[in-house]
Every structure is written in C-alpha cells, then in structure tokens.
Chain A
Amino acid sequence: MLEVKNLTKVYDDGTVALKNISFTVEDGEFLIIIGLSGSGKSTLLRCVNRLIDPTEGDIIWDGVNLAKLEGEELRKARRQIGMIFQHFNLVRRSSVMTNVLSGRLGYSPTFQTMMHQFKESDREKAWQALERLGIEDQAFKRADELSGGQQQRVGIARALMQDPELILADEPVASLDPVLAHSILTYLERLNQEDEMTIVCSLHYLDLVQRYSTRVLGLREGEIVYRGTREEIRAMTDEEFQEIYGEQAQRVTGGLEGNLDEFGLGE
C-alpha cells in the first residue's frame, strides 16, 4: 500500500508544485492521475521514487517512509518501483538489450556492471521481458532505431527487470498516437491484472482514463480537485471532465474504439 501524506513540493525558484497532498493507493490498483501540464502530476510521481525530493510530507510504501530514505536504502526502495516516462528516456545510442539490462542495475554488483557484465539469469530475464512485449527481434538494435511505440515497450521491459511491485508511469502515451496509446496501456493493464502490480499513471485523455483506471485523482495547480472511483469515472461526461481540467480537454480516439479489435487490442 502506498500512502502519501501531506506532500508539499516547493521548487528552488519558489514555484509551489504540490500543496499538501494526501491519498492512498491500495495494492493492485490502477490509479490514474489526470490534470493539465504543470498541474503537478510529474512532480508527484517523481516524489514517490525520490527523483525529486519533497519539501514536506511522508510517502509510506510497505511501511517505509520513502521521503526520509537516503543512500543505499533509497536505492533498495527504488528497485521495487519501476518507472515509465513520457519520452521513454532510453539511452538512444545504446542497444535495446543494454537499455533493458540497465533495469537490473540496482540488483547487480557495481564492479561487474562497470564491465557490462550481467548475471546469466538477468540476461534470461531480459529476453523474457522483451518476448513478453513482443520486441525480442529488436534486442540488438540501437534504441533510437525503434519506433516510438517500440521504444516505450523497451521502457516497460526495463521497468519489468526491476521486479517492481509498483509502477509509476508519467504520461506514458503522450508521445504516441492513439493506437499505440491503447497498446501501451494494455500492456500496463496486463501487468496490473496478471502480475498484480500496483500502477500509478498520469494521463491526459478522458477515454483512456475511463477505460483503464480503477480509480482517478484530478490535480489542478498542485491540489487534488477530484477523487473518483471506477464507476464514477465511467459515468463521467466530457463536460464534467472539462470542469476538472478547468479548460479544454480532449478525447484521444474519437470513434477509434470500435476498431480496436482489429488491432488485437480490444478487451
């Protein structure tokens, strides 16, 4: 269970990104955080695995306060938390395999990884991850030779290497087209349902939110302005959605959903 209590983040330049945020994520949930760019979604996700240090507040994960961890303990905690990024954040010039293996760094001895040596079991694991995401034939290509959707799958494979219990996904489909967006979210859904990983994901589009979330948080200017269950969000109209956003919100697919089965992506 992830418990965020009174989380506040003020950047050095005085920008208040998060204001006293509290929420709980039960194990096995697919929590989606919605909100405009600049509403604090990315900051919130990065506070959880401490890529950004929170100014105040606690983040309790499995009984450990992540907000207070330092050094070795922090790294050990990060191993349990996979992260997927909007821009994939792959090392573009490295091979897909190297990128995936780097997900195992937290478990590997420093000296051996300096020599690019990984355990045979880790390599086996990487192959399994690539196979699971259907990109095993791309393993020795350079990451930047892959299409956007493939790159995001590499990103997911990298996160899988950590054997995570929690996956943070920061707008994982914002750089992808609608079909790929569904494809990527379907992978996340499988991780959620089959592997029982908890997923916290930020998204922009109402139809994606309605389709994949088990619970929704709405953020605006660093504050939670909406909390909704699966049922509530499914009943939500575009108008209500726009109210949370405070501005123009979009649907991503506009009638595409009917065709999803053609791509083998339907439920």
Chain B
Amino acid sequence: MNHRKKPEQEARKPSLVPPYLAGLLSLVVPGLGQFLARTYRRGAILLGSFISLVGLMIWRIQLAGKRVEGALEIIQKAYRLRPILIVLTVLMVIFYLWIAYDAYLMAKRTRGTPLGLIFMVLIIFFIMGWQIGDINPVALVTDLDEAAGPLSEVLWPWERAVTYPEEEIIAIMPIQVPCTESDPPDVPDYGEGEPRLEAEPRCGQLSEQGGETGTKITLHGENYLPGKTVNILWEDPIGNEFRARQGGEYVKVVPDENGEFTIDIVLPYRLLPPSATEPSYIWDLKARQVTSLGAAQASKELKLAIEKIIETIFIGMMATFFGVIIALPVSFLAARNLMSANKFTLIIYYIARGVMNIVRSIEPLIWAVIALIVVGLGPFAGIIALTIHSIAALGKLYSEAIESIDPGPIEAVQATGANWAQTIMYGVVPQIIPPFVSFTIYRWDINIRMSTIIGMVGGGGIGFLLIQWMRLLDYKAAGIAIWFITITVAILDYVSAEIRERFV
C-alpha cells in the first residue's frame, strides 16, 4: 500500500528546477527533467523506454540499410526499403518532444496521468514488434492457395492408406540381331489363355546414330487386359532392360476390347561393345501390362504409421512409469513440511527442489538430443528424455501435494488410538492418492503428446515418420501420421480428464 503513495509524496516537494529548464534538460537527456522535478520513477521509466527504443531503431535501420557506407546513406536506404521505419522515426520524435513537455508539466507540479505517454510507448513498441517480427498478413491471403494443395492432402490423406496388389501381365518375344543365315530363335511356348506375342520379322538391324533407322518390327499381342496400357520394353543381350522409345516418347499401346494390339517397333540404337564378336545376338522384346487387382490392402505408410503410433504410446507409458517410480521417493525429499526438521534435511530439500527446477526448465526435446548421444537413435532415447522431464515435473507436483496435506485428519485418526501404519493408511494416503493419481494421469497424457514429437529429433515414435514424410513433401503420408497423432491425443485427453474427474 505504502509504495503506491510515493509519487504523490514526491510531487508535494517543490521541483529542483524551474519548469522551462526541466523541459530543456529533458531535451538533452530524456527523463532528466523529470528527475530534477523529483518524479524519479517517471524519469527512470521514460529514460529506459527511450534508450531501448533508440537502440532498437538503430539496429533495425542498420539491418535494413545494409551494404552502403555512411550514416546518411544507410538511413536513406533503410527508409526506402522499409517505409514503416519512417513512421517509427516520426513517432520517436513526437515521443522525444512529449518527454520534454512532460518534464515541463512535472516541474510545474501539474498533476498529469502518464497514460498518454504509456500509450505512446506501447504504440511504438507495437509497430517495432510488427517490423521485427516481419509480420505480413497479406501473405496469409495471397499465398494461401499454394498451401491449399498440401493442406487438403494432409486433411484427407486416406487414399494413401490403401493399396491394391499389382499383377504383371507380360509376354516376351526373342529377336535375332542382326539377321543371319541361321533361323531366328524359336517362338516361346505361350500357355493357353496366357498373353502371347507375334512379331514380323523376327530378326533385324539396329538403328545407327544419325544414320539409318533400324528394322521395323510389327508386333502383335493377344490375351492382354482390354483398355489398360501396355508398355513395350527391350532387354539387350547382356540383360539391361529399357523401355522402347520412338520419336522421343516411350512406346505404349492400349489393347482393344479383345485384349489385342498391333504396333510397329523400330529396333533401337545401341553401341555394341568391341568384345561382341558373335555373328548375332538375341534381344528380347517385351510387352508388359501392370494392373492392380483384388481387394484393397493397408498401404506401407498406414502400417508404418500404426506401428509407430503404438510405439509412441508405449514410449509415453514407459516414461511415465519410470518417472513415477523415481519421482515418488524424490517428492518426499522435496516436501518442505517433511524436510524442515533440521538444517541437514532442509539442505536436501533445497537441492532436490533446485535440481528439479533446472531439469524441468530444459525441454524434453533437448533431453532427447542428449540421450541420443548416449544410447543412439530409437525409442529408448525418447523414453530417457521423457523420464527425466517427468521425474522433475511429477516430483514437484507430488511434493506440493504432500505439502498441502491437512494435518487435521491425521490428528483425528491418531486420537482414535490408531497405530502408525493405520494413521498413514487412513489419515495420509487418502489425502495424497487422489492428487497423485491425477498428476500421474496428467503426466501420462503430456508424455504421449510429447512422444509424438520427440521422434523428430530421433527419439523414436511417430514423430520421426512425420518429419521424414514432411521433408519428402509426401503430404498424404504425413497427413496419415497427423491424423493418428490427433486421434490418439484427443482420446487420451478425454480419458485422462474422465479419470481425473473421478478421482479428485
């Protein structure tokens, strides 16, 4: 109460300087006039605000006016590139003059509220923050359509969750290159109803670079699936498979309703190695159709996401489990009412509290990075990180629950003639069990939420998949991971709230 009256008491004493001088002095050093008018706090606040604002202005102007020499040039460039700095400068000048005027008023003992000045400072800081934060709401609107694609994929990724098994329909026709006296190789024995190929001719000359085109082969196929693209491929004598290309395009053909097609294929250009001394070689001409058949199956991504979300839940669970086991005894050491018996126990109390505060202020992600160094990538690192954080957080909450025990019931139970164990069981335990259970479930909830992102640094769980798919721009797969995380967290949130409500 007393300190609130101070400014008025200050104001009652006469100013050390006449009003005009106070104003002038505040022009020299903003706030000095207020000091001499014995409004010390006001002077200090104004001086502090002014100095920090000027400092920030200099920084921003230097940053905007890079790569030019001379103060004037820097300022010019900065103003040109960032017109908002001009507004800030104007406001700063107004602020500067206002401080001087305020000093004049203070010295004159006019009772004025500092609200106007405070508002001024807030506005300048706000605009400064806008500039420093590079805030650009226009980008939110203009670039939104670019995000629409990935966003819609994330929001509805489920096409990626299923795959259909693929079947390959293929037939092979051997072609003799070049034609020789001997007969071309036998036509393979295609099975009844199996895809089959006929070629005419069945031998020929390869294309030459910049020279003659190779022999044209008329390829006829049967027993293919109607309406589905058939790709034509070559396999050269040394086993390299490549797609046939004509006029810069891959050769493909769509069979008619009977599953038949006919297409002309030109023998490709290939360099023959010097060791190719045989009079002729056999090239394979292949016509391949890939089709998806049968019922939908869970995709690889879906399976991975399920595996990893289970891993995530268990990381959170194990971390909570270890956290509770270690936090329980620690919390007793950190409960002031139990530890204030003598100096020694009080020191233990301060150490326990201090360590827990420090550990708790370091984010689990950082603990995970440290744990990675020790135990390597994987869920164990995540468990260690979350356990460490849980011990500190739970230890504090538990110890506070112990500290808030009501001694009344303990006294009452003792008064009935109960022994020590009975007193603990009936006087102490009922008081600490509900908060302990509540905090533990809350922590479990937090740990599972944390374990979804601990994977981002390699601590196991679904976070690893998420960050990996995001980086591969596979937004649908990432969407699956995000859906799983959201559903898991939502369910947990509900369950933990329910359980806690029952208990407390």
Q: Is the CB of B431 within 8 A of A105?
A: no
Give Cα A77 to B418, complex, Å.
Answer: 11
Closest to A111 in B: B421
Contact A75 B412 (CB under 8 A): no
**Interface assignment of B221: CB less than 8 Å from any CB of chain A:** no
Q: Which residue of A lies closest to B433 (CB)?
A: A93
CB distance A105 to B417 under 8 Å?
yes
Residue of B nearest to A81 (CB): B415
Residues of A within 8 A of B406 (CB): 89, 92
A193 interface residue per 8 A CB criterion? no
B52 at the interface (CB under 8 A from A): no
Mask: chain B, 412-445; 1 = CB below 8 Å from A; 0 = not? 1111111101100111001101100000000000
Closest A residue to B413 by beta carbon equals A102
| Alpha-carbon gap, A114 to B426, bound state (A) | 9
Q: Closest B-chain residue to A113, C-beta based?
A: B422
Interface: B241 (CB within 8 A) = no
Chain B: CB-nearest residue to A90: B409
CB distance from A145 to the nearest CB of B (A): 13
Give bound CA distance, A104 to B413, whole Å. 10
In the assembled complex, the Cα of A213 lies from the Cα of B417 at a distance in Å of 27
Closest to A168 in B: B415
Closest Cβ–Cβ distance, residue A64 to chain B (whole Å): 14
Residue B264 at the chain A interface, CB threshold 8 Å: no
In the complex the two chains form, what is the Cα distance from A87 to B418 in whole Å? 20
Range of interface residues on A (Cβ < 8 Å):
20 to 34
* Interface membership of B408, Cβ < 8 A: yes
Whether the pair A78, B417 counts as a contact (CB closer than 8 A) is yes
- Range for the number of chain B residues in contact with chain A: 20 to 34
A90 shortest CB reach to chain B, Å: 6
Distance, CA A76 to CA B418, complexed state (A): 9
CA distance A203 to B430 in the complex (A): 30
- CB pair A106–B411 under 8 Å, yes or no, is no
Most buried by A among B406, B412, B415, B419: B415
Count A/B pairs, Cβ under 8 Å. 84
On whether A102 and B426 interact (CB within 8 A), knowing A89-B409, A90-B409, A110-B421, the answer reads yes
Q: Is A235 close to B, CB under 8 A?
A: no
The answer to whether A158 and B427 touch across the interface, beta carbons within 8 angstroms, is: no
| Closest Cβ neighbor of A106 among chain B residues | B417
Nearest Cβ on chain B to A50's Cβ, whole angstroms: 9
Given contacts A113-B425, A158-B412, contact A91 B430 (CB under 8 A): yes
A102, B416: Cβ atoms under 8 Å?
yes
**Interchain CB contact under 8 A, A85 and B431:** no
Task: State the CA gap A201–B13 with chains docked (Å).
Answer: 61
On whether the beta carbons of A91 and B427 are closer than 8 Å, the reply is: yes
- Nearest CB of B to A94, in Å: 5
**A49 within 8 Å of B by Cβ?**
yes
Q: For the complex, is A218 an interface residue (Cβ under 8 Å from B)?
A: no
Known pairs A87-B408, A105-B413; A93 contacts B434 (CB<8 A): yes
Q: Are B415 and A49 in contact (CB under 8 A)?
A: yes
A173 on the interface (CB 8 Å rule)? no
Per-residue interface assignment for chain B, residues 464 to 476, with 1 indicating a CB less than 8 Å from any chain A CB and 0 otherwise? 0000000000000
Query: When the two chains form the complex, which single residue of B408, B416, B422, B433 contacts A110, counting CB atoms closer than 8 Å?
Result: B422
* A105-B408 contact given A91-B427, A93-B430, CB 8 Å threshold: no
Tell me whether A83 is interfacial, beta carbon within 8 Å: yes
Residues A85 and B408 in contact, CB atoms below 8 Å apart:
yes
Asked if B409 and A105 sit within 8 Å, CB to CB, the answer is: no
A105-B416, A158-B416 known; A114-B409 Cβ under 8 A:
no
| List of A residues within 8 angstroms of B433 by Cβ | 93
User: A49-82: which residues lie under 8 A (CB-CB) from chain B?
Assistant: 49, 51, 75-79, 81-82
Collect the chain B residues with CB atoms within 8 Å of residue A108's CB.
Answer: 422
In the complex the two chains form, what is the Cα distance from A94 to B406 in whole Å?
13
In Å, the complex CA distance between A81 and B431 comes to 25
Inter-chain contact A110/B415, CB cutoff 8 Å: no
Residue A162 lies at the interface, judged by CB distance under 8 Å to chain B: yes
Q: How far is the CA of A178 from the CA of B422 in the complex (A)?
A: 35
Nearest A residue (CB) for B418? A105
Query: Which residue of chain B lies nearest to A52 when distances are taken between CB atoms in the complex?
Result: B411
Complex Cα gap A88–B426 (Å): 15
Contacts of B409 in A (CB 8 A): 89-92
Which of A93, A94, A106 contacts B416 (CB under 8 A)? Answer: A106
Q: B426: which A residues are within 8 A, CB to CB?
A: 91, 94, 98, 102, 105, 113
A89 to chain B, nearest CB (A): 4
The smallest beta-carbon distance between A166 and chain B, in angstroms, is 12
Q: Please indicate the chain A residues that have their CB under 8 angstroms from the CB of B408 in the complex.
A: 85, 87-89
The minimal Cβ–Cβ distance linking B430 to chain A, given in whole angstroms, is 5
Contact with B along A9-28 (1 / 0, CB 8 A): 00000000000000000000
CA distance A77 to B414 in the complex (A): 12
Give the contacts of A175-206 with B (CB-CB under 8 A).
none
Assess A114 versus B412: contact at CB under 8 Å? Given A94-B430, A105-B426.
no
- The yes or no answer to A103 lying at the interface (CB within 8 A) is yes
Residues facing B in A106-128 (CB within 8 A) are 106-108, 110, 113-114
Task: Please judge, given known A-B contacts A93-B431, A93-B434, A94-B430, whether A75 and B419 are in contact too, CB under 8 Å.
Answer: yes
B412, B427, B430, B434 — most chain A CB neighbours (10 Å)? B412
Say yes or no: A75-B427 contact (C-beta < 8 A), given A83-B412, A89-B408: no
CB distance from A215 to the nearest CB of B (A): 23
Chain B residues closer than 8 Å to A107, beta-carbon distance: 417
A110 lies within 8 A of B411 (CB): no
Among B415, B430, B431, B434, contact of A78 (Cβ-Cβ < 8 Å): B415
Is A102 a contact of B411 with CB atoms below 8 Å?
A: no
Give bound CA distance, A229 to B214, whole Å: 135
A79 engages B421 (CB within 8 Å): no
Q: Which residues of B contact A77 (CB under 8 A)?
A: 417
The reply to whether B411 and A162 contact each other, CB–CB distance below 8 Å, is no
Question: With A89-B412, A158-B412 as given contacts, are A106 and B431 in contact (CB-CB < 8 Å)?
Answer: no
**Can you list 24 pairs linking A and B with CB atoms under 8 Å apart?**
A49-B415, A51-B414, A75-B417, A78-B415, A78-B416, A78-B417, A83-B412, A85-B411, A88-B408, A90-B409, A91-B413, A91-B427, A92-B406, A92-B431, A93-B430, A93-B433, A102-B413, A102-B418, A102-B426, A105-B416, A105-B417, A106-B416, A158-B416, A162-B417
Contacts A51-B414, A83-B412, A114-B421 supplied; 6 other A-B pairs, CB < 8 Å: A77-B417, A78-B417, A85-B412, A105-B419, A105-B422, A107-B417
Which B residues contact A (CB, under 8 angstroms)? 406, 408-409, 411-419, 421-422, 425-427, 430-431, 433-434
Q: Give me the 6 closest cross-chain CB pairs, A-B, nearest first.
A: A106-B417, A89-B408, A79-B417, A105-B418, A89-B412, A78-B417
